[in-house]
Amino acid sequence: MMVTEGNRVCDVGCDHGFVSIYLVEQGISPRALAMDVRSGPLSAAQEHIVQRGLEAVIATRLSDGLHNYNIGEADTLICAGMGGGLMRKILSEEKRKTESFRELILQPQSEVEQFRAWLREQGYRITDENMIEEDGKFYPMMKVSPDAADVRHAYGIREDGDKLCKLYDRYGFYLLTRRDAVLMAYLRREEKIYGEILASLEEQGLRDEKRALRHGEISGLLEDCRLACRLMT
């Protein structure tokens, strides 16, 4: 878990409350606030909290994003298990509240490249990354500092490094530079999938305009994937 030890946490979209329960039971966080927009999962979270006797240190609250959060209640914001688009919406709708946290622990499940680029453009700084694999699915996680720093050159590259910047947005600067083993497994899987798609398209023939455009798109993705692999070896 990427949460700084001793930090109070606010878990937005807490579902059944297991993240807050884990952090408190492991002694990582002294207190937690579990929030969800749906009453059903929030009731389940409350039940699990009571079962473990943690109701004195884990509070639950019905909230659409950060709307019902009060600044100063937590040090760490956790946002996980939702699409990148929804996560951007939550963070931007209550920007003052978002920037009041010491750190953000984020796990977008879609639009990951666009989400990293959005963070960079908004002035947020990714300070650490991790990736886990579970049942054949890959989940990137990132630790973010909301200090509104000047991160136009966050990756330490110049304007002529746009290709490299795109790779870092797509796959993660820290995952690539650390040669993360889970990311490498992900890249090898993607390389295989792209290769199979290209072979299928070529077998069908590329005279069809849509098929030809698709071939060009997948070829670009395969090239980026192979470049990322080379950067890690």
Note down pLDDT in tens along the chain; length 233 residues.
799 999 999 999 999 999 999 999 999 999 999 999 999 999 999 999 999 999 999 999 999 999 999 999 999 999 998 999 999 999 999 999 999 999 999 999 999 999 999 998 888 989 999 999 998 899 999 999 987 554 444 565 555 467 888 899 999 999 999 999 999 999 999 999 999 999 999 988 888 888 899 999 999 999 999 999 999 98
Residues 218 and 141 in one domain: no
**Is 165 contained in some domain?**
no
H-helix segments, the chain: 18-25, 39-51, 84-93, 95-98, 112-122, 162-171, 173-177, 181-204, 209-231
pLDDT of residue 162: 78
pLDDT of residue 165: 87
For the chain, the C-alpha Rg in angstroms (whole number) is 20
Residues 29 and 143 in one domain: yes
Residues 198 and 113 in one domain: no
pLDDT of residue 103: 96
Q: Specify the number of domains making up the chain.
A: 2
Residues 134 and 193 in one domain: no
CB of 112 within 8 A of CB of 119? no
CB of 90 within 8 A of CB of 66? yes
CB of 104 within 8 A of CB of 76? yes
Identify the domain containing residue 213 by its residue range: 182-231
**Is 93 contained in some domain?**
yes
Residue 60's SS3 state is strand
**Is 162 contained in some domain?**
no
The torsion angles phi and psi of 30, rounded to 5 degrees, stand at -80, -30
- Nearest alpha carbon to residue 91 among 126, 112, 100: 100
Tokens of 233: 């070896």
- Nearest alpha carbon to residue 82 among 111, 46, 125: 111
The Cα–Cα gap between 153 and 178 comes to: 19
Label the pairing between strands 76-82 and 58-62. Answer: unpaired
- The full length of the chain comes to 233
**Is 198 contained in some domain?**
yes
- What is the number of other CB atoms lying within 10 angstroms of the CB of residue 6? 11
**0.85 exceeded by the pTM?**
yes
Residues 93 and 38 in one domain: yes
Residues 35 and 108 in one domain: yes
DSSP label at 4? P
pLDDT of residue 156: 57
**Is 145 contained in some domain?**
yes
pLDDT of residue 211: 87
